[in-house]
Amino acid sequence: MENCLFCKIIKGEIPSTKMYEDENMYIFKDIDPKAPKHYLCVPKSHFKLLSEMNDTQAEMLKACFKKIPELASILGLENGYRLVINQGDDAGQTVFHLHIHILAGKKMDWNPA
Ligand code: 5GP
Ligand code: ZN
């Protein structure tokens, strides 16, 4: 997708701090961390919403969810972590390429308000 920030990051056109990459996903540090450890796991196929996901993209997302726990020691997730997928305006989605926030490194409150 042209003009998609995360497509450009995946292609290396915009720099990022890469933590992991394979054929399905690209994982990098969030530029504005909301926890001591804050990464973004981005499926390599562009789509905005779960409701728009095709079967191939669903397989990619599944691969992401299988891979993240396997990366626990690399990402420092041993004490637990939170995964967040913002969808649409009310959730505050700002980048319209579906991504999983990986948050870790402190005890987190449960306060989505
Ligand atoms: P959203 O609000 O769409 O769920 O999450 C977008 C995330 O992308 C935000 O946490 C924001 O800090 C991060 N972000 C925005 N621009 C950049 C960038 O240029 N580089 C990196 N590494 N993260 C970014
Ligand atoms: Zn994209």
Task: Choose which residue among 11, 29, 31, 93 to substitute to test ligand 1 binding: the one with the highest number of ligand atoms within 8 A of its C-beta.
Answer: 31
pLDDT exceeds 80 at position 1: no
- The one catalytic residue in 38, 97, 99, 101 is 99
Element (H, E) at 59: helix 55-70
CATH topology for 5-104 is HIT family, subunit A (3.30.428)
Tokens describing residue 19? 């933590």
Angle at 23 between CA 87 and CA 99, to 5 degrees: 15
pTM of the model: 0.97
Domain extents in the chain: 5-104
Q: How far is CA 4 from CA 85, 94, 96, 103, in A?
A: 17, 11, 7, 23
pLDDT exceeds 90 at position 2: no
List, for residues 23-38, the tens digit of each pLDDT value. Answer: 999 999 999 999 999 9
